[in-house]
Amino acid sequence: MVTIMRDFPSCFGENGVQVADSSSSSSSSAAKAAQNLVTCVYQCRLQGRSCLITVTWTKNLMGQGLSVVIDDLANNCLCKVDIKPWLFSKRKGSKNLEVDSGKIDICWDLSNARFGVGPEPVEGYYLAVAFEQEMVLLLGDLKKEAIKKIDTSAHLNSNAVFIAKREHIVGKKFYGAKAQFCDKGRMHDVVIECDTVDLMDPCLVIRIDSKTVMQVKRLKWKFRGNHTILVDGLPVEVFWDVHNWLFGNALGNAVFMFQTCLSAEKLWANQSVIDPSALTWSYSQKFRDHQAHGLGFSLILYAWKHE
């Protein structure tokens, strides 16, 4: 049974996106800009201690951009590297950073990378993070090239675990994304269907691999809520907030969160803060603690209407 969560925030957004101008051209521009940002979080081990590596892929008129942030579970930033789009013309390079406990190497090569509709590369690339020549995170299919660049004898695969992803998607009635609900799990097609134009009683439908897994009727009464579905035999808690679609301005976005944490509802209920940015993506300590203990994967989708 679908339940409405009393403390569910009106917007998951990092700071919430509110734009006064509601013209169709502005709506299109805002949606397009938002779509060109994908953030992925990996839990890794750095000299025996857990850390989080946040990789953000961006794309704009200046080109591809990349940001890598490494911090510990106490939210202390160990290092941060920003590869700005206007400096990204080489599409390959490396950074060597000294931290208190040793040297961190970050290497990337996107010279022959191929991209889908978003800013995240799909093949023909590598991004590697090493600590004292030990591989910590290795992304992409050019693993041997990355090993040679870092000059390490470590095996091709790192011990990093993919724990969270944030992505912006754009549509009119259908909103699609690719998702793995567990680390190294099967890739699934996620489709969100919701027609809010000239409908007195809109309905929300979510499909996984073309199979309907959730349907919410009387959406104007249930514009925020949560429901549990099964994917690959695992319980996945789905949270949704479509308030902006139904009652907000033309530039508002709906937010969906897929959480493979069995105690997800307790996590949200126990949060004492109401600020959406603190609740969802700025890594409040409770959220970070749950992720650090391996309780699941989080996928946050920001769905923008393109009129």
Residues 212, 262, single domain; the answer is yes
CA atoms in the 13 A half-sphere facing the CB of 289: 7
Structure-model confidence comparison of residues 7 and 104, the more confident one: 104
Structure-model confidence comparison of residues 294 and 126, the more confident one: 126
Predicted local confidence at residue 217, as pLDDT: 92
Residues 169, 299, single domain; the answer is yes
**Final residue in a domain of this structure, among 132, 162, 192:** 162
Predicted local confidence at residue 1, as pLDDT: 35
Residues 261, 131, single domain; the answer is no
**Final residue in a domain of this structure, among 133, 162, 191:** 162
Residue 13: inside a domain: no
Residues 216, 203, single domain; the answer is yes
Residue 254: inside a domain: yes
Residue 57: inside a domain: yes
**Final residue in a domain of this structure, among 111, 139, 162:** 162
pTM of the model: 0.76
Predicted local confidence at residue 36, as pLDDT: 81
Q: What is the extent of the structural domain holding 278? A: 24-35+165-305
Predicted local confidence at residue 63, as pLDDT: 80
Residues 277, 185, single domain; the answer is yes
Q: How many domains does one find in the chain?
A: 2
Residues 136, 207, single domain; the answer is no
Tens-place pLDDT, residues 11-60: 333 333 322 233 444 555 555 566 688 999 999 988 778 889 999 999 88
Residue 117: inside a domain: yes
Instruction: Give the model's confidence band at 72: pLDDT under 50 very low, under 70 low, under 90 confident, else very high.
Output: confident
- The rounded percent of the chain whose pLDDT value lies above 70 is 71
Q: Please state the three-class secondary structure of the chain as a single string.
A: CCECCCCCCCCCCCCCCCCCCCCHHHHHHHHHHHHCEEEEEEEEEECCEEEEEEEEEEEECCEEEEEEEEEECCCCEEEEEEECHHHHHHCEEEEEEEECCEEEEEEEECCCCEECCCCCEEECCEEEEEECCEEEEEEECCHHHHHHHHCCCCCCCCCCEEEEEEEEEEECCEEEEEECCCCCCCCEEEEEEECCCCCCCCCEEEEECCEEEEEECCCCCCCEEEEEEEECCEEEEEEEECHHHHHCCCCCEEEEEEECCCCHHHHHHHCCCCCHHHHHCCCCHHHHHHHHCCCCCEEEEEEEECC
Residues 210, 292, single domain; the answer is yes
Residues 252, 263, single domain; the answer is yes
Residues 82, 146, single domain; the answer is yes
Residues 85, 201, single domain; the answer is no
Predicted local confidence at residue 106, as pLDDT: 93
Residues 154, 186, single domain; the answer is no
In this predicted structure, which of 121-135, 137-151, 176-190, 216-230 has the lowest mean pLDDT?
176-190
Residues 292, 172, single domain; the answer is yes
Residue 149: inside a domain: yes
Structure-model confidence comparison of residues 239 and 90, the more confident one: 239
Residue 6: inside a domain: no
Residue 4: inside a domain: no
